[in-house]
Structure 1
Amino acid sequence: MNIYINSKLQEIPENATIMEALKSSGVTAFSGIAVAVNNAIIPFSSWSSHALGQDDNLVIIRATQGG
């Protein structure tokens, strides 16, 4: 199945979760990031259970320090 992660097409297994999609895209550190699926922020506690669908659009937002 195809999804988009930060506007890049990625193929993942059917019914993969957010956590599985992140890991398959190379994300290894989950602290300081937020994930939106189709413009809705998904809480970290749901990443391992939230199944993705064909053509879902994930946006990964990293917190950065600044001032």
Structure 2
Amino acid sequence: MLAIRRSADKQQGLPSVVQLRLAPTPAQADALAVAVQVCNQAATYISCLAWQQRTFAVLDLHRLA
């Protein structure tokens, strides 16, 4: 079970940072590495779109991507 404590200032919404330690099996580690690579490729693509279109607002980027 993962317990997340929120400060008095952040009683609503998700915490900004969560630290955890992963202990994946070798197969899970490989799958996680692939997932991170795909995520990074998507972020790079969206960054290129943002600069080409000079659009940097999150909602506008959602619409573009």
Instruction: Please classify the TM superposition score into its range, dividing by the shorter chain length.
Output: under 0.3
Q: Which has the higher helix share?
A: 2
State TM-score, norm by structure 1. Answer: 0.19
State TM-score, norm by structure 2. Answer: 0.19
Give the greater-gyration-radius structure (CA).
2
Q: Give the number of the structure with larger relative contact order, counting CA–CA contacts within 8 Å between residues 6 or more apart.
A: 1
Q: Which has the higher strand share?
A: 1
